[in-house]
Amino acid sequence: MEKLTDEEMALWQAWKLASETVRTHIAADITAATGLSDPDFGVLTRVVELSGGRMRQNRLAELMGYHRSRLSHHLARMEERGLISREAVGSGMEVVATAAGREAVALARPVHAAAVREHLIEPLRRADPSVFLAGLRELTPSK
């Protein structure tokens, strides 16, 4: 089979559009309210919420699914803006959220929750959330 059927095409188009839409809307809400980009927010929530404000750079990279290089560049920018600082620890580096960083996440958290509800959760209530979730799970092999 070479071309997608109409049905397949409809699913694909809807998927692509929805992915884009949800992603950009949520990111825009957070940026508008706090100045944090999506990566900024990702870094800070993980560092602050998952290990009390201090985390090994390597672990952070895994959690975010970033390559070491990308994270390094990004953290350098965040450091310049005063959101985090870094300390050498043994072989590697430890990322520490600064006061400004912790403040920024605190501000962003409720905005994020509201945005997720507005752009994802609420719309899905009109459909069938649990079936939808099951579908999503099929898309990500346990890997």
Partner DNA sequence: AGCGGTCTGTTGAGATGTCAACACACCCGG
Partner DNA sequence: CCGGGTGTGTTGACATCTCAACAGACCGCT
Q: Strand ranges (DSSP E) for the chain?
A: 54-56, 84-89, 92-97
Site string for DNA, 26-65 (x = CB under 7 A): -----------x-x----------------xxx--x----
Q: What is the DSSP letter of 90?
A: T
d(CA 20, CA 38): 14
Q: Which helix (H) or strand (E) holds 139?
A: none
Residues 6+ apart with CB under 8 A from 14: none
> Of these, 1, 52, 88, 91, which contacts its own copies (CB under 8 A)?
1
Give the residue with the Cβ less far from its own copies, 46 or 94. Answer: 46
CA 132 from centroid of its chain's CA atoms: 20
Residue 80 or residue 138: which is nearer to DNA going by CB?
80
**Which one of DNA, its own copies, none interacts with residue 106, CB within 5 to 8 A by kind?**
none
What is the x/- site pattern for its own copies, positions 76-105, by CB under 8 A?
------------------------------
Residues 82-111 that bind DNA (CB under 7 A): 86, 90-93
CA distances from 69 to 62, 73, 88, 114 (A): 12, 6, 17, 32
Residue 119 binding: pick among DNA, its own copies, none (C-beta 5-8 Å cut-off by kind): its own copies
For binding to DNA (CB under 7 A), which residues are involved?
A: 37, 39, 56-58, 61, 66-77, 86, 90-93
